[in-house]
Amino acid sequence: MKGNALGRYELPADTGACYINLDRVPARRAFMEAQFAHSGLTSATRFSAIDAQDPDALIANGYVPGTGSRWGLKTSEIACFESHRSVWKAAVDQNLQAVAVFEDDVEMSAQAGAVISALLADAGAYDMVKLDYSPRLLRFGSETNIAGVPVRPMLEMAPSAAAYVLSHEGCRMLLSWSERFSDHLDDFISIPRPNWRMYQCFPAVGVQMIWSKQQDHTVEEVKVSERSQDRKINSGLDKGPAWFRIRRELLAAQRKLYWRMGGQKRLLQSGGFVGFIPCAEDLQV
């Protein structure tokens, strides 16, 4: 983990780190710049988010109802997905070997800079490493490490994708899979797939402010997502036809049955983990 005596971390060549931020929410930009400074990452860049309130922003997008795990998506969810997708495309176009991607409301541990710089330097060892906490009990494989960073294989979808690292190949695969989509971004990047090497950083080195006990000490624009405040871009959700909803429920029941019929016991016996993701000591959830 490359750093100097001042706790500053230089990103390896041919890699990058960025955060996605709406142009008209400068409070979140200031928040993230402070978080990167705290973590020691001084070369992270801002990526302008696609604005769901702009009537022209989503004229061409990949959302097709029913092509993923959900039928309908809110306009704000489509814009969020397309913002992340734009980052993946930029990383591929620039031939980056790896990229760290953040949303603009992530509280970062002081350890985050060392963790991220180490992961970026070993991009051949993974497709995706999730860095942040998820507010739900989840299941993971046995602990291993990538470039000295403790990680566990992710075995199911996680309800957060606010901070993660992708390899070049990870970006390329996500772009291919998302030419048509109808998933929340959180779900999409953590769907278990053949040959998709996804891991969770253990402990997490980031947490969205909505889950942090420090949220009372930050400004309102950071605590509450600006995307979710406008009803015009967060209403009218279509859950799809009956056959789609029934299939969705059957697949969910199948997954639950697997864990209940011995899958979870076998996982724990093999060194797996079931529970909430632990966080770095300087993060509180």
In this structure, of 41-50, 171-180, 223-232, the range with the lowest mean pLDDT score is 223-232
SS3 content of the chain, % helix, strand, coil (to 5): 35, 20, 45
pLDDT classification of 183: cutoffs 50, 70, 90: very high
Q: State mean pLDDT over 256-262.
A: 94
* Residue at 2 is within a domain: no
Q: Is residue 79 part of a domain?
A: yes
Tens digit of each residue's pLDDT (9 = 90 or more) over 64-93 = 999 999 999 999 999 999 999 999 999 999
244 assigned to some structural domain = no
Looking at residue 93, its pLDDT comes to 96
Within-domain flag for 153: yes
Domain that holds residue 103: 15-237+269-275
> DSSP for 108-150?
E-TTHHHHHHHHHTTGGG-SEEE-B--SS-EEE---EEETTEE
pLDDT category of residue 234 using cuts at 50, 70 and 90: low
Which tens digits make up the pLDDT trace of 122-180? 999 999 999 999 999 999 999 999 999 999 999 999 999 999 999 999 999 999 999 99
Residue 60, domain member (yes or no): yes
Measuring CA to CA, how many Å separate 149 from each of 129, 162, 200, 273? 10, 19, 10, 17
CATH number at residue 97: 3.90.550
Residue 233 lies in a domain: yes
Q: Is residue 257 part of a domain?
A: no
| Domains of the chain: total | 1
Residue with tokens 């309102």: 220
- Helix (H) / strand (E) containing 173: helix 168-177
Residue 4's pLDDT band, with cuts at 50, 70 and 90, is very low
Higher local confidence (pLDDT), 217 or 268: 268
DSSP-derived letter for residue 279 is B
Asked whether residue 10 is domain-assigned, the answer is no
